[in-house]
Structure 1
């Protein structure tokens, strides 16, 4: 009986040695090679937004670089919060990415129960481009600059309206109202096109939007350029003053559009994505795509730079929201 047990023990040891030598011994599964399947670029807005245009520009080029299909999916709603929330909860493996703007990434600050935490729930991949907002007025009111606009608003208290898309768009209008010391009503619209029609008709009188979204109406004279929200004048519209030089000291809002992965995505994957996307947006074709649409290139494409931009914006707008008296929903 003792001999039988010894033989069994010896046979077991030989089996283990054989498994180790042939590589068949059970072990932890090997890490999945990236990319192992199609990559999804999720855009939290309908087609036509700057985030959507970037995603569709990147998709075929990124697909060629990664050797896998790259699919653009639009999942709009709630100012971008729905789509961003989907990516925040996605598997952190690099196959689901968010194409987002600053307005989306700061929107959780406007909620009593935030859908996600911008700093903690995402791994920044790359900031692709940035732009200030352009403040325009309706041609239906007799103003041609910020001084005249403020004078008109004070002479007509409560009659000046700002078109807003809700969410962070409200914050921009409220920041202007607070800085200028005006009575400014905020009129909600369901989308950018509807808001534009409202300002052209004179139902609302001012709106903050990217230049590229309003270029035809500006060129036709239906909208008048008042100021940009950067501290320096925009190369796209160099003759338009900043709000800061128009008397609103230190007024600055910059919208950064970039790519993010879910938090916990392995650094080698983040670095691979960063390297491939940086090569696309920094190419002559990429820079032309960016600047032709009134956007500015980014001086630093590293994930760390994007992370610093997001953190700085988070800190700033937590303070601003308190200052302007925004009521969280």
Structure 2
């Protein structure tokens, strides 16, 4: 698109002709529609770079690599996974945000892409600097306690916490959904609990099994094996509905605390400014992959419930998350230590 003259200077005769032509195109609607449509028809024209904001071996990386072969097949170009980890996903997110907005670079992020910006200053704005492409899946947090604990229900936990202020709950770090879930629970129940951040969910779960922590709102993907092996007792899940993989475990909401609904989510985003037709092409392609019965079942076995939906749905969800998580962060005075 032709640039406008700078400052307040008068455009040249040639510049006037360009401006008149631009106005004519805008009036006909072709200036906005034609360039993105043309780029979408030829997309993708080269290999796609899929930036994963966490290191190899984690849930985010596993999900990305699980989908990679089908993405390459569907889009007709190699999809190359590139791990850019560090700073709770911020390094990879900045890499995505600074990429060319042509759809050939996008990435997988998790819910900390929102919560991190609410807790500390980040080098990106999740709503301004990123293009929502697809909300892939939600992973509930499971409220778990050691098998030796007398706590068996949410009511038991609330009563126990009121009699014993300062019950400890672990998390993979400040601002994770596991941390936010614990803070949200404490606020809703009117109890005081002590957050113990770890460098990863694995060490926190290990300490919980051994009784060094009182409870945890563990990410389902990492916590389910401990529940299935009988090492931890599942009390409730933080999702809006009961989890298909734990159908007999109630939600926190149905157990008397309706405001406690939170998931860790995984999603695809690109840099701001990707043409709408390309966003829709990516969204439709990704949806067609993850909604296949076999793929949906494989993700569910990991504790991830497929969401899919449109890019607009995801954009609306991100705005709602900023409001919801922001209220918890402010009320609980959560800050980076």
Q: Structure 2 length as normaliser, TM-score?
A: 0.82
Aligned length: 298
Which residue of 217, 222, 226 corresponds with 2:231?
A: 222
Counterparts of 2:255 and 2:61, CA distance in 1 = 33
Counterparts of 1:253 and 1:171, CA distance in 2 = 8
Deviation at 1:72, TM superposition (A): 1.3
- 1:102 is matched with 111
SS state at 1:118 partner: coil
**What is the 5 A alignment of 1:16-95?**
33-95=42-104
Deviation at 1:31, TM superposition (A): 6.0
Deviation at 1:231, TM superposition (A): 2.7
Alignment of 1:254 onto 2:285: no
Unaligned runs of 5+ in 2: 1-34
Which residue of 174, 177, 189 corresponds with 2:186?
A: 177
Checking the alignment, whether the CA contact within 8 Å between 2:296 and 2:306 is kept in structure 1 is yes
Counterparts of 2:202 and 2:288, CA distance in 1 = 33
Checking the alignment, whether the CA contact within 8 Å between 1:131 and 1:296 is kept in structure 2 is yes
Checking the alignment, whether the CA contact within 8 Å between 1:228 and 1:234 is kept in structure 2 is yes
Aligned residues: CA RMSD:
2.1
Q: Structure 1 length as normaliser, TM-score?
A: 0.84
Counterparts of 1:61 and 1:220, CA distance in 2 = 32
1:171-205 superposed Cα distances (whole Å, 9 cap, x missing partner): 22221222222221111211111111111111122
SS state at 2:267 partner: strand
Checking the alignment, whether the CA contact within 8 Å between 2:146 and 2:208 is kept in structure 1 is yes
**What is the 5 A alignment of 1:128-277?**
128-158=136-166, 160-169=167-176, 170-277=179-286
SS state at 1:168 partner: coil
Counterparts of 2:56 and 2:189, CA distance in 1 = 34
SS state at 1:100 partner: strand
SS state at 2:302 partner: coil
Deviation at 1:328, TM superposition (A): 5.5
Unaligned runs of 5+ in 1: 1-27
Counterparts of 1:219 and 1:65, CA distance in 2 = 35
Checking the alignment, whether the CA contact within 8 Å between 2:181 and 2:238 is kept in structure 1 is no
- 1:297 is matched with 306
Counterparts of 1:78 and 1:320, CA distance in 2 = 22
SS state at 1:234 partner: coil
Counterparts of 1:279 and 1:323, CA distance in 2 = 40
Counterparts of 1:65 and 1:232, CA distance in 2 = 32
Larger radius of gyration: 1
Counterparts of 2:123 and 2:146, CA distance in 1 = 35
Checking the alignment, whether the CA contact within 8 Å between 2:183 and 2:328 is kept in structure 1 is no
Counterparts of 1:321 and 1:115, CA distance in 2 = 19
Checking the alignment, whether the CA contact within 8 Å between 1:44 and 1:76 is kept in structure 2 is yes
Counterparts of 2:302 and 2:172, CA distance in 1 = 21
- 2:332 is matched with 324
Say which is worse superposed, 247-256 or 63-72, in terms of deviation.
247-256
